[in-house]
């Protein structure tokens, strides 16, 4: 079955693997958006790491550490200002300073913490807590 949103599929696979206490999950296909998202999740301690798998097409094996309660893609990808980030935090995250929102900005993919610090907005891509 072909998908319209590879990022949503990847995050859904991660959610399902976490729910079943799997040590890792294989993601395919992999895009730069998915890789950037996973890098931010790793920096914030939600996953242990990623390794590329051999084979046809790009595949990533994501090592899980059991710290993800829920993660997902944000659809539609809302455009937001730095001053509106608080509103989106309340909508997608269970508590203040608990979890991350991933934004695509002119400075690249960053978390909402960095966006607030820099005072820039962007498109909401995903959330993880």
Distance CA 53, CA 57 (A): 9
Tokens 């891509």 found at: 125
Domain boundaries defined on the chain = 6-64, 71-128
> Using CB atoms within 10 A of its CB, is residue 55 exposed (0-12), middle (13-18) or buried (19+)?
exposed
CATH code matching the domain that covers 71-128, chosen among 2.170.130.10, 3.30.300.130, 3.30.420.110, 3.30.1490.10 = 3.30.1490.10
Q: What count of other Cβ atoms lies within 10 Å of the Cβ of residue 24?
A: 15
Give the tens place of pLDDT for each residue, 49-105. 999 998 888 899 999 999 999 999 999 999 999 999 999 999 999 998 899 999 999
Question: What is the reported pTM?
Answer: 0.94
CATH architecture of the domain formed by 6-64: 2-Layer Sandwich (3.30)
Determine the pLDDT at residue 1: 52
**Residue 33 above 60 pLDDT?**
yes
Provide the 3-class DSSP secondary structure of residue 63: strand
φ/ψ (deg, to 5) at 19: -65, -30
Q: What count of other Cβ atoms lies within 10 Å of the Cβ of residue 22?
A: 14
């Amino acid at each position: 079955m072909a998908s319209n949103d590879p990022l949503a599929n990847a995050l859904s696979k991660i959610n399902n693997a976490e729910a079943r206490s799997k040590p890792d999950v294989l993601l395919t296909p992999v895009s730069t958006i998915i890789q950037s998202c996973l890098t931010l999740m790793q920096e914030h301690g939600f996953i242990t790491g990623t390794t590329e798998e051999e084979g046809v097409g790009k595949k990533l094996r994501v090592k899980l550490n059991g710290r993800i309660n829920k993660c997902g893609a944000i659809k539609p990808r809302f455009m937001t200002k730095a001053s509106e980030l608080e509103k989106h935090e309340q909508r997608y995250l269970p508590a203040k300073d608990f979890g991350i929102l991933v934004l695509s900005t002119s400075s690249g993919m960053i978390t909402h913490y960095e966006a607030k610090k820099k005072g820039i907005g962007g498109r909401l891509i995903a959330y993880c807590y």
